[in-house]
Structure 1
Amino acid sequence: MTSGADPAATDNTPVSNLELERAYLRDLEGKPTGQRLWGYVKLSGPGWLQSALTLGGGSLASGLYLGVIGGTSLLWVQPVAMILGIIMLCAIGYVTLSTGERPFRAICHHINPVLGWGWLLASLAANMVWCLPQYSLATGVLQQNLFPGLLGDDGPLSPVGSKLVIVFCVFIITTVITWSYGSGHWGVRLYELLLKILVAMIVACFIGVVVTLAVYSSEFSWGAVFAGFIPNLGLISKPSPELAAMLQSLSPPSQAYWTGQIVSAQRDIMISAAATAVGINMTFLLPYSMLSRGWGREHRGLQIFDLSTGMFIPYMLATSCVVIAAASSFHNQPHASVAELIDKAPSEWPKSYLSMMESRVYSEMGVTPSAIPEGEAEKVQAEVAQRLEAMPLEEKQLAAALMKRDAGNLSKSLEPLMGKFWADIVFGVGVLGMSLSTISLLMLISGFVVCEVLNIPSSGWPFRLGTLLATTGALGPFVWGDAKFWLAVPTSVFGMVLLPIAYITFVLMMNQPSLLGDQMPRGMKRLWINAALFIAAGIATATSIPTIYGKAGWVGIGGLGLFVLAMIVTHVMRKPVDSPPQSA
């Protein structure tokens, strides 16, 4: 048995099977590349778990809004973030497979207990927060695409009643799926097979969306698509070219206001897309899913292949197709609910659009609605109504193009090929598969976290009950109203704030002799590895700090400072580690 490996799998798996797998991998090392890769395909698994987690509501929402606000010019964001994330996942995977140690124990013993506990608790917090948009996403597609007559606004159930039914069903399904993981080796294999099927279904659905657009849309351009994969960092601080052109027709005050709104939303969406590519909770899942299969040093090449194929390829295909579909259908286009009402009286505008336009007018007047004296409220409202009536058509069209979209909007891109009924079915099933697979994996990570805190094997009732910590997501449909997809954006920004904790930890692990010993990379190999790790960690940190300040001000920066101070104090006070820890 691998030293420190999780007994959840190795105790229930015949040693002979693991030894045969290891011998097979050793034999593959001397085979031609094609034969070796085919051998890896048959043994892959944890990479597909990562793919199923990544292809969730966060990735879908981020891709949707990247396309809405940036068009195809932001296609590069998610693949670049994924590449940086895979670099870090390969690092934690290398350390785990080289040592056989459970990462949390190894970090606390060899690196720093503050970093270890910070990584563990941040992963759990990310699970509990990220689960919110998954339930909300499942609710959205069931109400809008799959069963609108039964569960929608016009169905026989009340709005609260339909949400309760959906949440209960999602909870039961995901709990049954997740608990199969703790049933032994056959449960792990069954779980991973189900997720492979879901991932394949998801990718197929969104490829279908793009094929439909390419065939039926006269404005679709493959040249613009390929150009969108070229990184353009200027879009962090300026609107996309198409929206910038719309801004030119507005007055200077209007240009300043809408530029600020666009850039702020664009930046949040880019951060969200980067965070959902590889979140901190995913860095917790990978090593424990490998240990649960009994993987060891012989599996290091398989791990890289597994992440590059099972994780990167489905993610790249699915998210790119979502961005392309959203860009073709919505970028620089008025929201469908507003398109025919823009030139009508404000009283006929949809509530969400009216609220957006009123905020614009209040900003122009320098007034905060909550601070208006009661005696002047009627006068201010009359002036707001007057200004809304006089607002230029170009400004109304720009605002309508920036409105948030939801599941019901995106599925329309399939209608020219399939018609509305089958478009809703195909899209809805794919999105529902995304949300269910991600919920079950967030539950799985929570179970791993609880067992690590208790220092027990990841199996049995402690593991199963620990998975229920991620059911906080059941609150999502009840705390968020319109555009349920948008809930994934702020929750993903939260995840980006936590990500540097993991990345910095992995850099230190790859350079810790007491942990890796003779398995630590040497010479030029170590130089190249560290260069890649420092780039990934540096970008994550450089993104996280401004986000913390933008969302929490100096209070957030102060909290970060306290965390760093605790880490430094702990490092100074702890004794040097000369020998590896005992097996957990």
Structure 2
Amino acid sequence: MPADSSRVDADRQLLIDAQGRGVAATLKAYARLSGPGWLQSALTLGGGSLGSSLYLGILGGFSLLWLQPFAMAIGVVMMSAIAYVTLSTGERPFRAINRHINPVLGWSWLIATLMANMVWSLPQYSLCFAVCEQNFFPSVFQGDGVLAPGPSNSLLGRWVVSGAVLVLCTVVTWSYGSGSWGVRLYDAILKWVVALIVVCFIGVVVRMAMTPEGVNWGAVFAGLLPNFKHLYEPVATLRPLLEGIADPEARRYWTELIVGEQRDVMLAAGAAAVGINMTFLLPYALLTRGWDKAFRGMTIFDLATGTFIPFVLATGCVVIAAAQQFHGRLPEGVVVAADGSVEVPRHFQKPYDALLEQRAAATVSGSNQIIPFTAADERIAATLVRRDTFDLAKSLARLFDPSGGSGGHFMANIVFGVGVVAMTISSISLMMLISGFVVCEVLDRPAEGWVFRLGCLIASVGAFWPLLWEGDARAWLTVIAGVYGAMLLPIAYVTFFVMMNKKSLLGAEAPTGASRIVWNVLMAIAATAATAAGVSAIVEKGGIVGVAFVVAYIALVLVVQCFHKPPQASAVAGAAPFATASL
């Protein structure tokens, strides 16, 4: 879709004039022209961030609050790098990677982006249904409701909600391919959606702080300090539960279970902060606008204010709410008998029994006999049973109405439900947009017309989630998708690191001196963290097969690199701008 050259020229002049008037005028101009950063924010503030934030709070309490700001900070570094390269050269990243670095990395980035869209779209639809079923319309989807599960239509409600969401997101996304007015409309819609998400979740925490119990702000601020030992040991607040288990084999089992789930949630949260599909969206969104190197500083500002700040506020509030209501606590409705044994509510019975059955299967005594359960086993199983978005909304009801009246449930469901739906729908739409960009890039076609529109529909595979997920806690699907996303992210981060140091690509625009050192130190931290997380996920989930695949992939990259001849360095390498060339 061609950019409006006169509008781009006017925006460029606006920046130049503002920079001549000082910092305040420059920041005002930056805020006025912001857009791509808000697209990134709307994508990252989706079901993945919601689900991982929910379980970060449940499993880690306030101790894991540091993780998402850290992941987003290193993500902003890498996105700033790809923005710098893209705006300096005007060259489409996929083509640039293939020409100047390694075509295996270019195609891996593109294919991994499309795969990530397909996987990440699944939990978005499942969360939309969870909110409709549990928060907005329980009388329709539960009990004797019209769309309640039955012998002949057990999935009807899921298909109806998923179909409606797909139609809505398709209409909104296709507006992006309608020219510059569609881009401006799309930007405006997503800015309001992001603002709505942030306001909803800040409102929850503010209301929580106003209750007699309040929020332990000392623990909140302490949780913002990075602590990587949580990757291999339980958070301190869960140790009393573990110490209450007398049998060492049973204690070992529960410790490993907690650490494993803790690690999965941490990996998922990191991948949800900046997924590989986000790294594809940014450069093509910039090129669609016809921006060039005059917009580099503005883009970094846009990422910091439009992506980092809303993300940290929204996800932090969800972690705080989940930690305050669930961490280390028995679920609402659990009855503890005089002997310490536990009786859980009916909707928790199935996952609770499953936890105890898994413990029985994994722990045996020296005489090969199953170690009997104790009250401590039952208590920790009840504490670890997976909650869903409904459970958080339900627990927040008394914040809005301490008397326990229906008004509190109504407000909690509306505030929390609106925030969740805004998150998921914006993310679905953006994953459709990215899929359209990917298809047009593969076919070397402009991002417009029916090629773009049909390409968008690849991400609609998420609407088929009812065929793939039967779990009770639908939010946990976001963790599964997140671990998969963590495996793919190193491809992008390592590639961008190389791009920023490629003279044949950047030419005279390559950073030098102190700027080069700062860029490389920050990018090295980001690439190392992403690679460590990716390798950890592959080894843990893929085992020897996953390791063999990684070794084979690295060997392929090295073999192709031996025969690949990048072009010579020039004053500044670059293709025709995206706005005037085919995609």
Same fold by TM (over 0.5)? yes
CA distance in 2, matches of 1:414, 1:334: 16
Q: Given the alignment, which residue of 187, 195, 199 partners 1:204?
A: 199
Paired position in structure 1 for 2:391: 409
Q: Secondary structure at the match of 2:20?
A: coil
Distance of 1:181 and 1:255 partners within structure 2: 54
Deviation at 1:249, TM superposition (A): 1.3
2:456 corresponds to which residue? 467
Task: State the alpha-carbon separation in 1 of the partners of residues 88 and 21 from structure 2.
Answer: 22
CA drift of 1:243 comes to 0.5
Q: Aligned to 2:93, which of 98, 103, 106?
A: 103
Partner of 2:506: 516
Give the deviation of 1:396 after TM superposition.
Answer: 1.2
2:433 is aligned with 1:451: no
**Which residue, 9, 21, 25 being the options, matches 2:2?**
9
Q: Which amino acid aligns with 1:293?
A: R
Q: Which has more helix, going by share of residues?
A: 1
Aligned in 2, Cα 1:280/1:346: closer, same or farther, shift over 3 Å? closer
After superposition, where does 1:248-267 map in structure 2 within 5 Å? 248-251=243-246, 252-267=248-263
Q: CA deviation at 1:217?
A: 4.8
Task: Show the counterpart of 1:316.
Answer: 312
Give the Cα separation in 1 of the matches to 2:263 and 2:157.
35
- State the Cα distance separating 1:395 from its structure 2 match: 2.1
Q: In structure 2, how many angstroms separate the alpha carbons of the residues matched to 1:462 and 1:290?
A: 20
The superposition leaves residues 343-363 of structure 1 with CA deviations (integer Å, 9 ceiling, x where unpaired) of 367997711111111111121
Q: Are 1:80 and 2:75 counterparts?
A: no
**Corresponding residue of 2:555:** 565
Q: Does 1:477 align with 2:477?
A: no
Show the 5 A alignment for 1:385-396.
391-396=373-378
Kindly indicate whether the alpha-carbon contact (under 8 Å) linking 1:339 and 1:400 is maintained by their aligned counterparts in 2: no
Contact 1:213/1:413, CA 8 A, preserved across alignment: no
Aligned CA distance change for structure 1 residues 155 and 575 (closer, same or farther; 3 Å): same
Q: Distance in 2 between matches of 1:509 and 1:189?
A: 30
Per-residue CA distance 1:51-72 (angstroms, 9 max, x = gap): 0000000000111000000000
Distance 1:365 1:441, change over 3 A: same
Deviation at 1:308, TM superposition (A): 0.3
Letter in 1 for 2:349: P
Partners in 1 of 2:276 and 2:31 — Cα distance? 26
CA 1:163–1:179 in structure 2 vs 1: closer, same or farther (change >3 Å)? same
Report the TM-score when normalising by structure 1. Answer: 0.92
Contact 1:209-1:413 at 8 Å conserved across structures: no
> Does residue 24 in structure 1 map to residue 22 in structure 2?
no
Aligned equivalents of 2:362, 2:212: Cα separation in 1? 38
Determine the structure 2 residue equivalent to 1:281.
277
Distance 1:148 1:289, change over 3 A: same
Distance 1:347 1:462 in 2: 51
Structure 2 residue aligned with 1:169: 164
CA distance in 1, matches of 2:355, 2:281: 40
The alignment-based identity, stated in percent, is 51
> Closer, same or farther in 2 for the Cα pair 1:230/1:582, shift >3 Å?
closer
Equivalent residue in structure 2 for 1:125, among 105, 115, 129: 115
2:405 corresponds to which residue? none
In 1, Cα distance between equivalents of 2:182 and 2:334? 49
Quickly say closer, same or farther: Cα 1:567–1:366, change in 2 above 3 A.
farther
The alignment of Structure 1 onto Structure 2 pairs a total of residues equal to 556
Tell me if the contact between 2:19 and 2:25 (Cα under 8 Å) persists in the aligned partners.
no
Of residues 66-75 and 21-30 in structure 1, the stretch that sits farther from structure 2 once superposed is: 21-30
Q: 2:259, 2:342 → 1: CA distance?
A: 28
Q: How far off is 1:478 after superposition? A: 3.8
Q: Which residue of 1 aligns with 2:351?
A: 352
Deviation at 1:30, TM superposition (A): 2.2
List runs of 5+ in structure 1 lacking aligned partners.
Answer: 1-7, 368-379
For residue 537 of structure 1, report the CA deviation from its aligned partner.
0.3
CA contact (8 A) 1:71 1:324 kept: yes
Distance, in Å, in 2 between the alignment partners of 1:498 and 1:149 is 41
Taking the aligned partners of 1:237 and 1:576, their CA distance within structure 2 comes to 42
- Structure 2 match to 1:181: 176
Q: Deviations over 1:309-360 (max 9, x none)?
A: 0001100100000000000000001123545688367997711111111111
Counterpart amino acid of 2:48? G
Counterpart-to-counterpart distance in 2, 1:221 and 1:42 = 37
Mapping for residues 421-440 of structure 1, pairs under 5 Å: 421-440=410-429
Structure 1 residues 477 and 561: alpha-carbon distance in aligned structure 2, compared to 1, 3 A threshold: same
Gaps of 5+ in 2: 150-154, 402-407
Contact 2:159–2:466 under 8 Å retained in 1: no
Q: Would the aligned equivalents of 2:78 and 2:526 in 1 still touch at CA under 8 Å?
A: yes
Residue matched to 2:291? 295
Please say if residues 18 and 29 of structure 2, whose CA atoms lie closer than 8 Å, have aligned partners that are also in contact.
yes
The 2-side partners of 1:523 and 1:344 are apart by 64
Alignment of 1:127-166 (within 5 A): 127-159=117-149, 160-166=155-161
Provide the C-alpha distance between the structure 1 equivalents of 2:423 and 2:322, rounded to a whole number of angstroms.
17
Q: Tell me how far apart the structure 2 counterparts of residues 508 and 435 of structure 1 sit (CA, whole Å).
A: 33
TM-score by length of 2: 0.92
Aligned in 2, Cα 1:426/1:45: closer, same or farther, shift over 3 Å? Answer: same
Residue 441 (structure 1) aligned with residue 430 (structure 2): yes
Query: In the alignment, is residue 502 of structure 1 matched against residue 492 of structure 2?
Result: yes
Deviations 1:496-550 (A, max 9, x none): 1000100011011101111111000011110111111111101111121121011
Conserved in 2, the CA contact under 8 Å of 1:208 and 1:414?
A: no
Alignment deviations for residues 469-502 of structure 1 (CA, whole Å, 9 cap, x no partner): 0011112234223110000001111011000100
Q: Would the aligned equivalents of 1:325 and 1:413 in 2 still touch at CA under 8 Å?
A: no
